[in-house]
Structure 1
Amino acid sequence: MSNPDASVPWGRPVVDTIPLPPFATPDEHVRFTRALQLHVALVDDGGPSLAAKVLSETLARQGQGPDLSPLELTVALATFFPAPWTPAALAAVLAARERFGPRELEGVWNWEFDPDFTAVPRAGGGWEVERHERGSRRPWASLEHEGDLVLMWMDHYRTTSAYPYGWRADEGAGEALAESARAVRLAHAADAAKPYLANWRAERERFLEDGQA
């Protein structure tokens, strides 16, 4: 890919057995959520981190209807969840949330607004992406893989600067929370030392090693 961004896992494989929304049955939704929970746990390199554990518990409470909850979609985008999204499938999900979500016309995709982007299929696979801003047009990226367009959309529509990351905390707020945070970190470290999480760490490493190409 030209204009690569190393924070996007270009070319990462998909898992064809993960159901896509809209789900035909509650069981399909459960299978999606369980796969998302496991994906989050595998990409987390903590012992596990407290945030990953809390997120897994919250995902389990999102319901079993035909559509993704806002949280499920947010987590799927942020973690580049490898469900077998096609551009059309992900665009349909984003349409319910994004005012300027991807739109397709005769095989060409356009998304966002000022700047907006256009993706044209390349001969032999992949996409040529242009960026348009205030009347200007320029090449933006050459995507080598068909699925890289999905990954680009995940990158464009995920939240990358939620508070407090990249923000200046309110005066004194961090200091006020620090003592409690230290206590919770110690408690979490004690929990992480328990056998059930030691077993998970070993299982996580086995999954990651056995799944290497």
Structure 2
Amino acid sequence: MRSFLPSQVPWGRPVVADIPLPPFATGAERQRFTRMLQLHVAMVDDGPSLAAKTLAAALTTRGAPSSQLTTLELEVALATFFPAPWTPAALAEALAQVHRHAPRALSEGRWDWDFDPVFTATPGERHGWEIERNERGTTGTETLEADGDLVILWMDHFREHHPFPYAWRVDEAEARALAAAAKATREAHAADAALPYLANWRREHGAYLDEPG
């Protein structure tokens, strides 16, 4: 059986230890999580693209702060592998708010998730995890080196992999109907992207990413 572990994920990526995790005890903790998520979205973007700017705007906190994540914040955190210091238990709790088949704690520190196939994570003898995939009696086993890799596995497993329209068959008439408006919006964004505030961001963004480590 071929490996069932995903290859296009940032295994072993570092975490930022002082990002607060939900449930947030204070408004300041809640604001820091959201602001760091907005910054992370900008850091992983090549642009600044209009999509990233729109997403940053959508993530802006409005109204009374909640101790829990919004669905949007969780989906963005998963899709961008947001480097908050998630433990498996903390991420499982957040996932349980919106995913029906989120990881469930079992006895002896084990976890299972999904239903067809079913996955089970068993703590290793010294560290890491043994992951079993069981699909209607056909099983396979893989090893993860650390808790952080189990977090990465869950982030990849529970994110939306193919949102519309990517990897979908798009209605040609609908795409053509939107084309003129899309071109006008692209031109407006290009003019905005040439302004000093975004030129400054591109310079700073490049400097941050060029720093070692």
What's the TM-score bracket when you normalise by the shorter of the two chains? over 0.9
Instruction: Quickly say closer, same or farther: Cα 1:112–1:62, change in 2 above 3 A.
Output: farther
Structure-2 residue corresponding to 1:33: 34
Which amino acid letter does the alignment assign opposite residue 93 of structure 1?
Answer: A
Equivalent-residue separation in structure 2 for 1:37 and 1:28 (angstroms) = 14
Equivalent-residue separation in structure 2 for 1:67 and 1:3 (angstroms) = 31
Q: State the 4+ residue runs in structure 1 displaced beyond 4 angstroms.
A: none
Equivalent-residue separation in structure 2 for 1:26 and 1:104 (angstroms) = 29
1:122 corresponds to 2:124: yes
Which amino acid letter does the alignment assign opposite residue 105 of structure 2?
Answer: E
1:50-94 deviations in Å (ceiling 9; x for gaps): 000000011003552100011000100111000000000000111
Equivalent-residue separation in structure 1 for 2:29 and 2:93 (angstroms) = 18
Question: What is the CA distance between 1:143 and its match in structure 2?
Answer: 1.3
Equivalent-residue separation in structure 2 for 1:26 and 1:96 (angstroms) = 20
1:136-195 deviations in Å (ceiling 9; x for gaps): 2222x3212221000000000000111101111124111111111111111111111110
Q: Which runs of 5+ in 2 are unaligned?
A: none
How many residues align? The count is 209
Equivalent-residue separation in structure 2 for 1:59 and 1:88 (angstroms) = 24
How high is the TM-score relative to the length of structure 1?
Answer: 0.93
Structure-2 residue corresponding to 1:194: 195
Equivalent-residue separation in structure 1 for 2:146 and 2:51 (angstroms) = 32
Question: What is the CA distance between 1:208 and its match in structure 2?
Answer: 1.4
Question: What is the CA distance between 1:4 and its match in structure 2?
Answer: 5.1
Structure-2 residue corresponding to 1:54: 54
More moved, 114-123 vs 151-160: 114-123
Question: What is the CA distance between 1:206 and its match in structure 2?
Answer: 1.5
* RMSD (Å) for aligned C-alpha atoms: 1.4
On the 8 A contact 1:62/1:72 being kept in 2, the answer is no
Equivalent-residue separation in structure 2 for 1:50 and 1:44 (angstroms) = 10
Structure-1 residue corresponding to 2:75: 74
Q: Which runs of 5+ in 1 are unaligned?
A: none
Equivalent-residue separation in structure 2 for 1:39 and 1:178 (angstroms) = 30
On the 8 A contact 1:15/1:82 being kept in 2, the answer is yes
On the 8 A contact 2:31/2:61 being kept in 1, the answer is no
1:137 corresponds to 2:139: yes
Which amino acid letter does the alignment assign opposite residue 125 of structure 1?
Answer: H
1:174 corresponds to 2:175: yes
Q: Secondary structure at the match of 1:172?
A: helix
Which amino acid letter does the alignment assign opposite residue 96 of structure 2?
Answer: A
How high is the TM-score relative to the length of structure 2?
Answer: 0.93
1:32-52 deviations in Å (ceiling 9; x for gaps): 000000000000011x00000
Equivalent-residue separation in structure 2 for 1:3 and 1:145 (angstroms) = 17
Q: Secondary structure at the match of 1:179?
A: helix
Structure-1 residue corresponding to 2:46: 45
